[in-house]
Amino acid sequence: MDVGLNSGQLALRDSVRDVLRAECPPAIARQAMTDPDRWRTVWKTVVDLGWSELAVPTADGDSSFGRMDLTVVLEECGAALAPVPLLSSVGLAAGLLRLAGPAVDDVLAEIGSGVVAALAVHPPGHRLPAVPMTLQEGRVYGRAVAVPGLPRAELVVTLASSADGPVAAVVRVGDGVTVREAECTDPAQPVADVEIDAQAIAIAPVDLESALATPLVAAAADLVGVAGAALDRAIEYAKTRRQFGKPIGAFQGIKHALADNYVALERARGLTYAAAARHDDPATSVAAGWNAAALAKAAAADAAVGCGRTAVQVHGALAQTWEHDMHLYLRHAWQGASTLGDSRALYHAVGRRFAGSRADDDQQGSAIRKGHEEWRQ
Amino acid sequence: MSRMTQAELRTDLVAEYAAWLTGFLPNDYYERYREYRWDIGLRRAHQRAAFEAGWLQPTWSPEHGGRSLGLAEAMEIRLEAAMRSAPKLPNVAGPGVAAPGIRQFGTAAQIDRLLIPLLRGDEWWALGMSEPEAGSDFASLRTRAVRNDPDGRVFRVKGRKIWTTQAHQSRWCTLYARTDPDAPKHRGISCLILDLESPGVTIEPIRMASISDETFCEVILDDVEIPADSLLGPVNGGWQVAMSSLNHERQMIWIMNWVEIQRGLSSVRDSQATHDDYASGEVFAELGSLLADAEALRATGYRALNNELADRPSPEADILKLLGSQTLQRVWELSAAAAGPRSIDDTDLLFERQDALAATIYGGTSEIQRNIIAERLLGLPKG
């Protein structure tokens, strides 16, 4: 099981980090909250650097590390709070289409070139992602809520039920696509509801679980980045802020909370890398891939929200102000945590599935072993 | 060697090990695991057979009962053993902690005399670390070892050790004692190999709260003479011997925790058949969260290993103990919740819950683990 980054991925991580440090400090995210066009210059940099091309699976069929590279870049963009639609367009929308076959090649190429897409998979009233649309004679009908990045998107990728089973469908924003934007938790990453009654520009039959696994891992990577960055900020502050004659980080009340955050972060990071590696492994079953992705997303949301909340607590009153960055991390974390399934709903789904699987004892191996093997296939 | 060939090599090895284990175990082992897990005769026989077949310490050389395997292969073997519920070593402190210490720090004569009987399980070992006034603060231990003159041939030892697991069944003890009372507390400790049959040693077993067979003892040392050639490692170098010996245990601890967690998760699943209201949402949600913990433990163990193999730092390894032990406690609590009032007359479950409580204490408490993470990894100042 390969679950770490190799040296090439580590180098990629460092170069992405350097670019973002120079081009995209958290102040940019704050500006993007009030200036709806602020994201465009950063996005141009991202597209010029070729990061959006990670939308397109490698042509030679050997996709090993493809998703791992995307994971690395998304984690760094999350850490930088980069107000760009890389997660929503390349991670989520293109991610859903990744296994949809040649019918969506042109759409993936468009997204790869920097055309922004958004993924609509939340029917009203659902906590977990599902199929919000129906497809009839090539037209897509239906409603979805909280579509990440939709106000910036030219394409909407969605799931639709059809007479032949579920399909991934793509429509172009325009006539028949009504975008309802409202205020949201993280205006640097705006979301909107959508109502669609429009002709699809691409349709491909999909297996729901394998289609959703890649977006889940992408969302996890972004949240792992947010968690790590929020924790770093809290650590720096705990080292320098002094009370009662010593740095507050010397008190176990602070120290242990941050150590627990670190555990939550590495738990999430381990699950996210393992889930990404698993998706690149053809031996992985669909169910195991979805389980791994769902647990990674849930763990990453827990880590991001947990690290963000502790970081606010460590900073005290300072973190209650607009000028301090900490609300930016938490806004991003809270919003991401509710996208594609909150962690309780995801844990519940995976737990119920595990409980429903049976392990029969036999002489070849213990129940544990059998359960484990079914689980990891 | 390409990745694929390495993977195949590993699969072959694991298959070989699995076949060996299946051949060793009684035919009804899995049906009667509840009884066999306490069968000390079977557990002793298993250790001896594993040693002879080279599976006990697979990374060690053949003359020390190993197969000279790499770390990655050895981890696969350990995981396989764990997944197949291989019989637990009857005296974990011996092969898990004392043996690596002897191998790393011992003289040729010490290795020659001690290692093989230890690995075969013929001689058990106790770890003489904790004292009444030195628990988490191990370096403040007070047991004194004095040589009459710098070249004296014996140390005279006076002091008390406590929570010394299985001392009453052990032949040897790695005894940590203060040899330089003037040095800073970490630098005045030496490790001595104590023959527990020596005059002046009194061992009192302490009744355990659970049915655990890993019994604590109090060990009273009243002017015990230990030959100077029983020193393990350098004089006043005991701190390094202790840290290094415990470090070998690190990988074993997370794998042990991981397999116990798997067992707990299976028991939660099995409750479903017998309880109508099992299907409450909170059980499923907690179950999912625990599945994430278990998988994170394994993924982190592999990440740490890959970093070690690539000669990179592996800071994530430090979370394994903390995460594994906490998860273990939560999983048995969930098992009790899922079983409802049936948990009350389930004495196996009682033992699991009691045994899990030890996991956040031995090998460095969770509080110490958090301090280590905060100070060494996150760089926060000492309190």
Inside any domain, residue B304? yes
State the CATH number of the domain containing residue B154. Answer: 2.40.110.10
**Nearest residue, CB atoms, A266 vs list B30, B286, B316:** B316
Beta bridge partners of A202: A170
Residues B373 and B271 placed together within one structural domain of the fold: yes
pLDDT at A63 over 50: no
Contacts of B379 in chain A (CB under 8 A): 235, 239
Report yes or no: A128 at the B interface, CB cutoff 8 Å. Answer: no
State the CATH number of the domain containing residue B313. Answer: 1.20.140.10
B3 to chain A: closest CA residue: A2
Closest-CA distance, B239 to chain A, in angstroms, reads 24
B266 to chain A: closest CA residue: A368
Question: In this predicted structure, what is the pLDDT of residue A154?
Answer: 98
Closest-CA distance, A9 to chain B, in angstroms, reads 13
Of the pLDDT bands very low, low, confident and very high (cuts 50, 70, 90), residue A37 is very high
For the ranges A266-275, A325-334, B336-345, the lowest mean pLDDT is seen at B336-345
Question: In this predicted structure, what is the pLDDT of residue B1?
Answer: 38
Inside any domain, residue B176? yes
Query: Encoding tokens for residue B15?
Result: 């298959």
More confident residue, A64 or B275: B275
Cβ distance of B27 and A363 shorter than 8 Å: yes
Question: In this predicted structure, what is the pLDDT of residue B48?
Answer: 97
Identify the domain containing residue B177 by its residue range: 124-236
Report yes or no: A256 at the B interface, CB cutoff 8 Å. Answer: yes
| Residues 6+ positions from A155 with CB-CB distance below 8 Å | A93, A107, A110, A111, A115, A116, A117, A118, A170, A171, A172, A173, A201
In angstroms, the Cα distances linking A306 to A38, A49, A270, B318, B325 are 29, 32, 17, 20, 20
Residue where a domain stops, chosen among B182, B210, B236? B236
Cβ distance of A254 and B27 shorter than 8 Å: no
State the CATH number of the domain containing residue A286. Answer: 1.20.140.10
Report yes or no: A252 at the B interface, CB cutoff 8 Å. Answer: yes
Residues B244 and B371 placed together within one structural domain of the fold: yes
More confident residue, A344 or A365: A344
Question: In this predicted structure, what is the pLDDT of residue A367?
Answer: 42
Contacts of A358 in chain B (CB under 8 A): 269
More confident residue, B318 or A231: A231
Residues B86 and B207 placed together within one structural domain of the fold: no
Question: In this predicted structure, what is the pLDDT of residue B75?
Answer: 87
Residue B167 in contact with residue B217, Cβ under 8 Å? yes
Question: In this predicted structure, what is the pLDDT of residue B280?
Answer: 73
Phi-psi map region of A90: left, alpha, beta (phi>0 left; psi -120 to 50 alpha)? alpha
Residue where a domain stops, chosen among B221, B236, B251? B236
Average pLDDT over residues A165-182: 97
B308 to chain A: closest CA residue: A4
* Average pLDDT of chain A to the nearest whole number: 92
pLDDT at B116 over 70: yes
Question: In this predicted structure, what is the pLDDT of residue B44?
Answer: 98
Residue A318 CB neighbours (<10 A)? 13
Average pLDDT over residues A213-231: 98
What gap in Å lies between CA B11 and CA A369, rounded to an integer? 16
pLDDT at B306 over 90: no
Closest-CA distance, B86 to chain A, in angstroms, reads 10
| Residues 6+ positions from B361 with CB-CB distance below 8 Å | none
Question: In this predicted structure, what is the pLDDT of residue A331?
Answer: 98
pLDDT at A16 over 50: yes
Cβ distance of B370 and A252 shorter than 8 Å: yes
More confident residue, A3 or A313: A313
Average pLDDT over residues B22-48: 96
For the ranges A115-119, B185-189, B220-224, B315-319, the lowest mean pLDDT is seen at B315-319
Residues B136 and B76 placed together within one structural domain of the fold: no
Average pLDDT over residues A77-104: 97
Report yes or no: A123 at the B interface, CB cutoff 8 Å. Answer: no
Q: Which of B373, B377, B382 to mutate to test the interface with A (most CBs of A within 10 A)?
A: B373
Query: Encoding tokens for residue B19?
Result: 């076949």
Closest-CA distance, A238 to chain B, in angstroms, reads 7
What gap in Å lies between CA A21 and CA B356, rounded to an integer? 45
What gap in Å lies between CA B227 and CA A195, rounded to an integer? 85
Closest-CA distance, A84 to chain B, in angstroms, reads 29
Of the pLDDT bands very low, low, confident and very high (cuts 50, 70, 90), residue A356 is confident
Sign of CA dihedral B351, B352, B353, B358: positive
Of the pLDDT bands very low, low, confident and very high (cuts 50, 70, 90), residue B7 is low
Question: In this predicted structure, what is the pLDDT of residue A361?
Answer: 36
Of the pLDDT bands very low, low, confident and very high (cuts 50, 70, 90), residue A280 is confident
pLDDT at A349 over 90: yes
Average pLDDT over residues B16-43: 96
Inside any domain, residue B106? no
**Nearest residue, CB atoms, B288 vs list A3, A346, A369:** A346
Residue B118 in contact with residue B125, Cβ under 8 Å? yes
Residue B21 CB neighbours (<10 A)? 23
Indicate the SS3 state at residue A256.
helix
Inside any domain, residue A243? yes
In angstroms, the Cα distances linking A232 to A227, A265, B355, B380 are 9, 11, 36, 11
More confident residue, A123 or B307: A123
Report yes or no: A258 at the B interface, CB cutoff 8 Å. Answer: yes
Q: Which residues 28-47 in chain B show a CB within 8 A of chain A? A: 30-31, 33
Of the pLDDT bands very low, low, confident and very high (cuts 50, 70, 90), residue B317 is confident
**Nearest residue, CB atoms, A372 vs list B262, B310, B319:** B262
Report yes or no: B319 at the A interface, CB cutoff 8 Å. Answer: yes
Inside any domain, residue A223? yes
Average pLDDT over residues B349-373: 94
Residues B177 and B301 placed together within one structural domain of the fold: no
Q: Which of B4, B30, B257 to mutate to test the interface with A (most CBs of A within 10 A)?
A: B30
Question: In this predicted structure, what is the pLDDT of residue A61?
Answer: 46
Number of domains making up chain A: 1
Q: Which of A5, A266, A342 to mutate to test the interface with B (most CBs of B within 10 A)?
A: A266
Closest-CA distance, B207 to chain A, in angstroms, reads 32
Beta-strand (E) ranges in A101-245? 117-120, 133-136, 139-148, 155-162, 165-172, 177-181, 191-199, 202-205, 242-243
Beta-carbon contacts below 8 Å between A and B: 187
Inside any domain, residue A128? no
Average pLDDT over residues A125-135: 97
Contacts of B22 in chain A (CB under 8 A): 364
Closest-CA distance, A11 to chain B, in angstroms, reads 14
Of the pLDDT bands very low, low, confident and very high (cuts 50, 70, 90), residue B65 is confident
Residue B305 in contact with residue A270, Cβ under 8 Å? no
pLDDT at A185 over 80: yes
Question: In this predicted structure, what is the pLDDT of residue A148?
Answer: 98
For the ranges A126-130, A192-196, A278-282, the lowest mean pLDDT is seen at A278-282
Contacts of B285 in chain A (CB under 8 A): 344, 347-348, 351
Average pLDDT over residues A353-361: 69
Residues B167 and B188 placed together within one structural domain of the fold: yes
Query: Encoding tokens for residue A302?
Result: 């827990």
Residues B244 and B372 placed together within one structural domain of the fold: yes
For the ranges A146-155, A191-200, B62-71, the lowest mean pLDDT is seen at B62-71
pLDDT at A275 over 80: yes
What gap in Å lies between CA B154 and CA B146, rounded to an integer? 8
What gap in Å lies between CA B308 and CA B196, rounded to an integer? 37
Cβ distance of A298 and B292 shorter than 8 Å: yes
What gap in Å lies between CA A243 and CA A144, rounded to an integer? 49
Question: In this predicted structure, what is the pLDDT of residue A358?
Answer: 60
Nearest alpha-carbon partner for B78 in B17, B37, B9: B17
Residues B268 and B370 placed together within one structural domain of the fold: yes
Identify the domain containing residue A312 by its residue range: 209-376
Average pLDDT over residues B236-257: 85
Q: Which residues 79-118 in chain B show a CB within 8 A of chain A? A: 83-85
Cβ distance of B319 and A266 shorter than 8 Å: yes
Residue B261 in contact with residue B327, Cβ under 8 Å? yes
Q: Which residues 245-284 in chain B show a CB within 8 A of chain A? A: 259, 262-263, 265-266, 268-269, 272, 278-279, 281, 283-284
Residue A294 in contact with residue A349, Cβ under 8 Å? yes
Question: In this predicted structure, what is the pLDDT of residue A277?
Answer: 87
Question: In this predicted structure, what is the pLDDT of residue A58?
Answer: 72
**Nearest residue, CB atoms, A258 vs list B262, B307, B374:** B374
- Give B377's DSSP letter: I
Average pLDDT over residues A295-322: 97
Question: In this predicted structure, what is the pLDDT of residue B132?
Answer: 95
Residues B346 and B265 placed together within one structural domain of the fold: yes
Q: Which residues 199-238 in chain A show a CB within 8 A of chain B? A: 235, 238
Question: In this predicted structure, what is the pLDDT of residue A376?
Answer: 44
Closest-CA distance, A280 to chain B, in angstroms, reads 15
Inside any domain, residue B14? yes
| Residues 6+ positions from A324 with CB-CB distance below 8 Å | A315, A318
Average pLDDT over residues A48-71: 77
Residues B217 and B302 placed together within one structural domain of the fold: no
User: Which string of b and e fits B252-282 if b means at least 16 CB within 10 Å?
Assistant: bbbbbbbbbbbbbbbbbbbbeeeeeebeeee
**Nearest residue, CB atoms, A235 vs list B269, B279, B378:** B378
Average pLDDT over residues A65-92: 94
In angstroms, the Cα distances linking B205 to A37, A155, B132, B166 are 74, 73, 15, 8
Contacts of A292 in chain B (CB under 8 A): 295
**Nearest residue, CB atoms, A351 vs list B262, B287, B307:** B287
Question: In this predicted structure, what is the pLDDT of residue A365?
Answer: 39
Inside any domain, residue B281? yes
Residue where a domain stops, chosen among B186, B216, B236? B236
Tokens 């939709």 — which residue? A150
Inside any domain, residue A359? yes
pLDDT at B318 over 60: yes
Contacts of A268 in chain B (CB under 8 A): 296
* Average pLDDT of chain B to the nearest whole number: 92
Average pLDDT over residues A126-143: 97
Number of domains making up chain B: 3
Average pLDDT over residues B247-259: 80
Question: In this predicted structure, what is the pLDDT of residue B10?
Answer: 73
